[in-house]
Amino acid sequence: TELKLEEKHRWVIYRDVGEHVSYTTREVGQYLVIEASNGIIVIWDKRTTIFIKLAPTFKGAVCGLCGDFDDRSSNDFTTRDHMIVTSALDFGNSWKEAHTCPDVDKTFEPCAVNPHRRSWAEKQCSILKSQVFGVCHSKVDPAPFYDACVHDSCSCDTGGDCECFCAAVASYAQECTKEGACVFWRSPDLCPIFCDYYNPPNECEWHYEPCGNRSFETCRTINGIHSNISVSYLEGCYPRCPPKRPVFDEDKKKCVPADQCGCYVNDEHYEVDEKVPTEDPCQSW
């Protein structure tokens, strides 16, 4: 990446030119999943949470604010100069994109800045250490997630109070699901997700699934298109398709018979009876 000073003292970042990376987008539960052809998956809850997942080929071959993906957390604070540090400030400052950005010189402690929020945050986040998540405690340590929950819940002091809290709890619940501990923690009074909005009139196909849907057949899966990394554990609203319409069309957001799925060519979807271009000039299928 090259940083160049243009006229009128405007800094412009020129990025390296690399090979084209194709990608697909789809909705899985309450998440938007962007999957690139090079093995990178970005999962966004459309609010405040984002996950970046890498294919095994990236193991130990990346660096930056997310660590180096070598299954060791002890060296995640590696600076741009390849030094392992303990200070979050030193670590973060080393990865600045532009040298014109000033260094951050102090750590922000939201519960100290907003002391009136601490008791509420600690009380709400205590659910992570309670019996609600008891089945998961031996599989995933709740302590760092509790600390992050309190930190984030104290941070939201100008609206969106429950947004930060709910996102923090959901991230722990997701890790639990990945380790085989499914937790039903949401309720009508606690971070509810209502799926009836998606139901057609007089039907009840859409339901909330706290741990995803691993038996979910879609038009993509029956056409042999599968994700490089499983995202079937993502919570959210999923349809339970009836026997006469057993397959979910992700593009149309409805259940259909398998013979109405059409086909996929290089991840491009084509409807039934729609022409498919070929590499031969003036010809199509």
Domain end, chosen from 68, 94, 120, is at 94
pLDDT over 90 (residue 180) = yes
Please give the Cα distance from 156 to 162 (Å, whole number). 8
Mean pLDDT to the nearest integer, 77-90: 94
pLDDT over 70 (residue 172) = yes
Q: Do residues 75 and 6 share a domain?
A: yes
pLDDT > 90 fraction of the chain, expressed in percent and rounded: 56
Domain end, chosen from 162, 179, 196, is at 179
Q: What are the structure tokens assigned to 224, written together?
A: 């042999």
Is 57 a domain residue?
Answer: yes
Is 172 a domain residue?
Answer: yes
Q: Do residues 129 and 158 share a domain?
A: yes
User: Per residue in 46-60, pLDDT tens?
Assistant: 888 899 999 999 998
Domain end, chosen from 94, 125, 148, is at 94
Give the count of alpha carbons within 13 A of 74, CB side only: 1
Mean pLDDT to the nearest integer, 48-76: 91
User: Per residue in 211-262, pLDDT tens?
Assistant: 998 777 899 889 888 777 788 889 999 999 999 999 999 888 889 999 999 9
Q: Do residues 116 and 81 share a domain?
A: no
Name the residue with higher pLDDT: 99 or 34: 34
Residue 2 has a pLDDT of 45
Average pLDDT, the chain: 87
* Residue 165 and residue 173 in contact, taking contact as beta carbons nearer than 8 Å: no
Give the model's confidence band at 264: pLDDT under 50 very low, under 70 low, under 90 confident, else very high: confident
Is 171 a domain residue?
Answer: yes
Mean pLDDT to the nearest integer, 102-127: 92
Is 42 a domain residue?
Answer: yes
Q: Do residues 86 and 132 share a domain?
A: no
How many secondary structure helices (H) and strands (E) does the chain include?
6, 12
Tell me which residue range forms the domain holding 175: 110-179
Q: What are the structure tokens assigned to 68, written together?
A: 């180096």
Please give the Cα distance from 137 to 198 (Å, whole number). 34
Please give the Cα distance from 151 to 153 (Å, whole number). 6
Q: Do residues 24 and 57 share a domain?
A: yes
Name the residue with higher pLDDT: 206 or 160: 206
Beta bridge partner(s), residue 164: none
Q: Do residues 28 and 77 share a domain?
A: yes
Name the residue with higher pLDDT: 58 or 18: 58
**Tally of domains within the chain:** 2
> First-to-last CA distance in the chain?
43
pLDDT over 70 (residue 8) = no
The type of residue at 19 is E
Please give the Cα distance from 262 to 218 (Å, whole number). 12
Is 77 a domain residue?
Answer: yes
Q: Do residues 114 and 88 share a domain?
A: no
Residue 1 has a pLDDT of 42
Is 283 a domain residue?
Answer: no
pLDDT over 70 (residue 61) = yes
Q: What are the strands, taking DSSP E only, across the chain?
A: 2-5, 11-14, 23-28, 31-36, 40-44, 50-54, 206-209, 236-239, 247-249, 254-256, 263-265, 268-270
Name the residue with higher pLDDT: 22 or 8: 22
Is 167 a domain residue?
Answer: yes
Q: Do residues 62 and 116 share a domain?
A: no
Q: Which pairs with CB-CB distance under 8 Å and at least 24 residues apart come from 183-190?
A: 183/132, 183/133, 183/135, 183/136, 183/210, 183/211, 184/210, 185/127, 185/132, 185/133, 185/210, 186/210, 190/127
Residue 16 has a pLDDT of 62
Q: Do residues 122 and 161 share a domain?
A: yes
* Residue 40 and residue 55 in contact, taking contact as beta carbons nearer than 8 Å: yes
Give the model's confidence band at 281: pLDDT under 50 very low, under 70 low, under 90 confident, else very high: confident
Is 126 a domain residue?
Answer: yes
Q: Do residues 76 and 117 share a domain?
A: no
Q: Do residues 56 and 8 share a domain?
A: yes
Q: Do residues 14 and 90 share a domain?
A: yes
The type of residue at 142 is P
Q: Which of 106-110, 233-237, 277-281 has the lowest mean pLDDT?
A: 277-281
